[in-house]
Chain A
């Protein structure tokens, strides 16, 4: 979904609207932020595009107003968000998959709602820092998101100091980034590890190679129950037997499709797809 769908640009409206409601100033380069944050609102309200959302807000829809303000005022994405899922990856999930795949020497990880790239790049840093044995392996990190502009920013790998401050250990900043004016640029080796691709989880998925690990964090909460079920069934179909699913901290297992075994590790829960 983009702001200019159907030949209209809703961005100036949202700039004014969000400033009036929350005092947040959205400069032109924050276009991706509006798209990323409001796409789930559009979806949940069964609207088609941000233009529809704009018209609903103009009509004075109070419920949507709250949803929009909430979405726009939530915190930005962090590196190593919530910490413990990444600790679980390092300490349990990746070692187990590396052992399981030692004959094939291949590993696939999918960050299914990657926003501006902090999650897949955090995974890439863990691989670089802790798994030198993967050198010579075919390792792919697939990172997808709904928003083209979020993906564009992710591909550039250029972050402000405010973004860098959010949970990135200083040692990683020094090791994997270089200074570029007022910004920090992620290094090419890390960039090459991640393949970014546009994908709408709520619609039919393109063909995705079988994955060892899928991160589907803080995204299910935006969908209704049938859509959540459909997405989880898709996740199961795209995971290798024995592969792992990681959800967001606030997301429950209640609606998990059958076949997953919850495993408590590093103060979090990961879900392993049963071996057939």
Chain B
């Protein structure tokens, strides 16, 4: 699985990257929405999953979701907001714009893996069992 992590916080990018690499994903990073869009336009290996922060200096997460969903070629990508933004109204806006899931910061690694599992992203049995106690 390939993943793109979009967050202006270096610490958050590192955390998300570590968790995703822990389940065997190839991870690239972008520092804001504009950087992410540029990378998506350039790449010939589109990510399967994009984790998107909301509040970022150059093009915020909501704008990025809207931009990605405009291009039919990018439709297969799964988009998940990972953000401190937890106002009901804004969550609705993100989902209506085309985000597939939503994770509120702060979160535990288990919560991220559970959300990925919900989205049908392959999470190795072992990693998930460690999370669910199953």
Chain A residues near B9 (CB-CB < 8 A): none
- A74-B133, A174-B88, A178-B88 given as contacts; is B108 within 8 A of A162 (CB)? yes
Chain A residues near B117 (CB-CB < 8 A): 83, 167
Interchain CB contact under 8 A, A248 and B110:
no
Chain A residues near B126 (CB-CB < 8 A): none
Q: Quick check: is A255 within 8 A (CB to CB) of the other chain?
A: no
Give the complex CA separation of A167 and B115 in angstroms. 6
Query: Count the B residues whose beta carbon is within 8 Å of the partner chain — how many?
Result: 25
Chain A residues near B132 (CB-CB < 8 A): 75, 78, 81-82, 249
Chain B residues near A83 (CB-CB < 8 A): 117-118
Chain A residues near B133 (CB-CB < 8 A): 74-75, 218, 250
Chain A residues near B14 (CB-CB < 8 A): none
Interchain CB contact under 8 A, B108 and A161:
no
Q: Quick check: is A274 within 8 A (CB to CB) of the other chain?
A: no
Query: Count the A residues whose beta carbon is within 8 Å of the partner chain — how many?
Result: 24
Q: Which of B88, B103, B106, B107 contacts A179 (CB 8 A)?
A: B88
Interchain CB contact under 8 A, A75 and B102:
no
Q: In the assembled complex, how far is the CB of residue B62 from the closest CB belonging to chain A, in whole angstroms?
A: 14
Within 8 A of A (CB), among B93-118: 95, 99, 101-104, 106-108, 110-111, 114-115, 117-118
Q: Quick check: is B72 within 8 A (CB to CB) of the other chain?
A: no
Contacts from A to B (Cβ < 8 Å): 74-75, 78, 80-83, 161-162, 164-167, 169-171, 173-174, 178-179, 218, 248-250
28 contacts between A and B (CB under 8 A): A75-B108, A75-B110, A75-B131, A80-B118, A82-B134, A161-B86, A162-B106, A162-B111, A164-B104, A165-B111, A166-B110, A166-B114, A167-B117, A167-B118, A170-B95, A170-B99, A170-B101, A170-B102, A173-B91, A173-B102, A174-B91, A178-B88, A179-B86, A218-B134, A248-B134, A249-B132, A250-B133, A250-B134
Contacts from B to A (Cβ < 8 Å): 86-88, 91-92, 95, 99, 101-104, 106-108, 110-111, 114-115, 117-118, 129, 131-134
Which 10 A-B pairs have CB atoms at the shortest separation, nearest pair first?
A249-B134, A170-B102, A165-B111, A167-B114, A161-B104, A165-B107, A179-B88, A250-B134, A166-B111, A82-B132
